[in-house]
Amino acid sequence: MAKTKTSYFCQSCGYESAKWLGKCPSCQQWNTFVEEVVEKGAGNSPDWKTSSNTLSRVNKPAKVQEIVYTEDHRLITPDKELNRVLGGGIVGGSLVLIGGEPGIGKSTLMLQVALTIPKLKILYVSGEESEQQIKLRAERILPHPVSDCYILTETSTQNIFKQIEILEPSLVIIDSIQTLHSAHIESTPGSVSQVRECTAELLRFAKETNTPVFLIGHITKDGMIAGPKILEHMVDTVLQFEGDRHHVYRILRAIKNRFGAASELGIYEMSGAGLREVSNPSEILLSQRDEPLSGVTISATMEGMRPMLIETQALVSTSPYGTPQRSATGFDTKRMNMLLAVLEKRCGFKLGAKDVFLNIAGGIRVEDPSIDLGLIAAIISSHEDMPVSYKTCFAAEVGLSGEIRAVTRIEQRIAEAQKLGFEQIFISKYNKKGLDLSKYEIEIKTVSKIEEVFNLLFG
């Protein structure tokens, strides 16, 4: 009988140590090490049993020139937003991890995908809900599913693989990876060693059978995916499901993607019948108003390869307590302070004793610097109480010296503004290089300094 081997793991980052440590050398957290059994003993059977041909095959090195490349066969789902985020569809043999806040809609999205792919055998494994609970949600989402969706409530990986061998599904969904446990590891489900071992078993299964596997993962209170960091390294794609539960819109963002762009996103609207795709996000992010309001401007931003027009709002008021407040929702507060310093230093606006509040409408968070000019215009509009025309939008970055800097993909931003009926757009004059202005019906204003923008807007 082999001796049981134990080791100490950091529950925060997954760092492994042979002895207990008070402070983790990797993430600098205190009192996070827990002893776990990492090896039960000799004689463990393989987790995923393959054919004798696969077991006897020995990989040999090959020249790059001799390797034959075949185009990845992708499974196209009826969900166009998911296809976009994955890079064009589900790749065979891929391992996809989806993380998000509790109650944000991860299980709803995956069950919706499992019910709507036609003529496909799909296995939905749940370790958190009963069959009756899943049936209730399925009736609400799609009473008459078009796929052969099988539900399995199980947490043991050995039992799951037995059912997979019998059923032979074309797609496997695991809800969630933190609830699974392997008999080869003597530790509780959700621990570092269990999450790592269960993911490794599913990874071997996906690669050897060319079956795509979706894993739903929990997140920590900091918003990071729970478990060791190696979990994100092992999978092919990491998707983050974001959004505020008090808003109806959800964002599916690709953080890592080996088969496509890692900056794409999909937008959904949560309803009683599940998640609805939002094909044109600009329409939901812009409020329908008939008259211009001070402190409100429209900015053209890019999320991945998709152009979006968003509403940027600012409120500037006199501070009643002498200590001004600076608050931003959906935007980096440090960058807001930088823009306010540029306005005060380069343009002479006295904002030091003013409360400044910024808001990105729709409950989304934007990191694209192209909304700098729109935010500055909104701040001055609120400060002077002079509205900006709701037919005007902005797409430019602002530098520390007050210059208007060029941004990427300016043609797509201009085309999106023109499609939605805007009459003029402010861009940097450095974006004019290689830009054919004659093919656009929208009026394009090119500026190089903040002062030029204020003169054109407010006279």
The binding site for ATP comprises 100-107
Dihedral, 96, 102, 105, 110 alpha carbons, nearest 10:
30
Binding-site members are 100-107
Best CA proximity match to 384, nearest among 392, 376, 373, 395? 376
What does DSSP say about strands 354-360 and 306-318: parallel, antiparallel, or unpaired? antiparallel
Best CA proximity match to 347, nearest among 322, 395, 384? 384
**Quick one: tokens of 123?**
């296995």
Helices (H), 97-244: 106-116, 131-141, 157-167, 192-209, 230-234
C-alpha 369/C-alpha 389 separation (Å) is 22
**Quick one: tokens of 209?**
């059978």
Burial-class residue 358 by CB neighbours within 10 Å (0-12, 13-18, 19+): buried
C-alpha 8/C-alpha 38 separation (Å) is 9
Residues in Cβ contact with 456 at an 8 Å cutoff, skipping those fewer than 6 apart: 426, 445, 447
Cα distance between the two ends of the chain: 87
Asked whether the beta carbons of 287 and 323 are under 8 A apart, the reply is: no
C-alpha 266/C-alpha 35 separation (Å) is 41
